[in-house]
């Protein structure tokens, strides 16, 4: 339990050294990462907006990783969820009812499941490595997105910008508070965390899923299907990533653009592991990771630092966590120097 906390402390310490090396005030630098995102109600709203897709994707990935299925391509499933959701949203007009948002979100889930299903099929049928397949499909998804926004879905009245038209109000996600971009996606994320906790720790199916990841031979001996475990893990994680993509384009963005892939699918891997693959832990790690996103944007505008600093802090947190996890199996012990007697 202390390993993620120690990893965060190490990340902060290394961050101080990094800001000093860049010639910046470390107090001001850490402030934009850890204080600015929570200093006002609007800032807290933006924190929740960014934490929502991270949590949703991480929940699906946690099921995969607990099942020993390594889905590294959630970013592609997120993109395809956004594409499928946009396809339905573009069918709406000014006469569409507010219920149009339901098929938009369902289309996003379907898009993510279809993309993850390709990985599941190749793993199940041809024993292909799901790490490589899912990762390579990320770039295919981005190419599909680019083709659509630069081609058939490009807004003819958009001044030649590669983007679709703005979605109708009927397809946009309901916001929870006036003057804030927080929408019902956060409620879906928290509900998903509760459902995942019940499934993993209070149902036989969730127990069987985890046993299949920990001890495949024991799972087969007990009559659990390894094929079913693979399909379930990938389809659930793909559907979760697709839902996150649908919530993003039908929520804060309001249209499909080539800038939809912002790395949420990859950052959610860190969220899952920092949260110890536990639904409650991932709620807190998603908030922490969203602070890094907001802090990176503020560091760019206020301190003149590159936006890539966000990725630097994410990587520091992950490597610090991996280093601290070594202490769960090994301990440091200072032994006296041996004196060899001739």
Per the structure, the complete domain to which residue 11 belongs is given by 2-172+182-326
In order, the DSSP letters of 259-308 are T--SSHHHHHHHHHHHTTT-HHHHHHHHHHHHHHHHHHHHHHHHS---TT
pLDDT tens digits, 274-323: 999 999 999 999 999 999 999 988 988 888 888 788 889 999 999 999 89
Cβ pair 69, 232 in contact under 8 A: no
Domain presence at residue 108: yes
Domain presence at residue 321: yes
Domain presence at residue 341: no
The number of domains in the chain is 1
Q: How far apart are CA 318 and CA 312, in angstroms?
A: 10
Q: How far apart are CA 168 and CA 98, in angstroms?
A: 10
Domain presence at residue 42: yes
Alpha helices in the chain (DSSP H): 2-21, 26-34, 41-66, 74-89, 101-126, 130-150, 185-202, 204-214, 216-221, 226-248, 264-274, 279-302, 309-325
Model pTM? 0.93
Domain presence at residue 248: yes
With both helix axes pointing from N to C terminus, report the angle between 41-66 and 185-202 in degrees, rounded to the nearest 10: 30
Q: How far apart are CA 313 and CA 8, in angstroms?
A: 10
pLDDT tens digits, 108-120: 999 999 999 999 9
Residues of 59-73 as b/e, b for ≥16 C-beta within 10 angstroms? bbbbbbbbbbbbbbb
| CATH number of the CATH domain containing 61 | 1.10.3470
Answer whether residue 167 shows pLDDT above 90: yes
Q: How far apart are CA 30 and CA 32, in angstroms?
A: 6
Answer whether residue 63 shows pLDDT above 90: yes
Cβ pair 82, 245 in contact under 8 A: yes
Answer whether residue 342 shows pLDDT above 80: no
Answer whether residue 199 shows pLDDT above 90: yes
Domain presence at residue 339: no
In a 3-state reduction of DSSP, which class is residue 144?
helix
């Amino acid at each position: 339990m202390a390993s993620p906390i120690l990893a965060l402390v190490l990340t902060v310490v290394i961050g101080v050294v990094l800001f000093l090396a860049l010639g910046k005030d470390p107090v001001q630098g850490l402030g934009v990462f850890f204080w600015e995102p929570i200093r006002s109600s609007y800032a807290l709203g933006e924190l929740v907006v960014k934490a929502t897709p991270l949590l949703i994707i991480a929940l699906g990935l946690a099921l995969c990783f607990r099942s020993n299925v390594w889905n590294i391509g959630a970013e592609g499933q997120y993109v395809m969820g956004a594409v499928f959701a946009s396809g339905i949203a573009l069918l709406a007009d000014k006469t569409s009812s507010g219920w149009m948002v339901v098929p938009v979100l369902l289309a996003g889930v379907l898009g993510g499941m279809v993309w993850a299903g390709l990985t599941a099929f190749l793993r199940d049928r041809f024993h292909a490595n799901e790490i490589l397949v899912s990762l390579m499909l990320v770039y295919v998804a981005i190419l599909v997105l680019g083709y659509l926004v630069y081609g058939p879905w490009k807004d003819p009245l958009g001044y030649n910008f590669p983007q679709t038209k703005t979605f109708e109000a009927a397809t946009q996600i309901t916001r929870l508070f006036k003057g804030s971009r927080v929408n019902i996606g956060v409620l879906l994320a928290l509900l998903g965390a509760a459902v995942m906790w019940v499934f993993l720790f209070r149902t036989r199916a969730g127990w069987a899923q985890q046993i299949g990841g920990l001890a495949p031979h024991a799972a087969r001996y007990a009559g659990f299907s390894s094929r079913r475990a693979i399909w379930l893990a990938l389809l659930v994680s793909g559907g979760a990533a697709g839902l996150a993509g649908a919530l993003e384009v039908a929520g804060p963005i309001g249209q499909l653009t080539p800038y939809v892939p912002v790395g949420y699918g990859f950052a959610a891997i860190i969220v899952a592991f920092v949260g110890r693959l536990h639904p409650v832990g991932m709620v807190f790690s998603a908030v922490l990771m969203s602070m890094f996103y907001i802090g990176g944007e503020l560091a760019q505008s206020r301190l003149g630092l590159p936006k890539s600093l966000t990725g630097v802090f994410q990587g520091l947190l992950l490597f610090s966590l991996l280093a601290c996890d070594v202490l769960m199996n090994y301990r440091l012990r200072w032994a006296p120097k041996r004196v060899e007697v001739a």
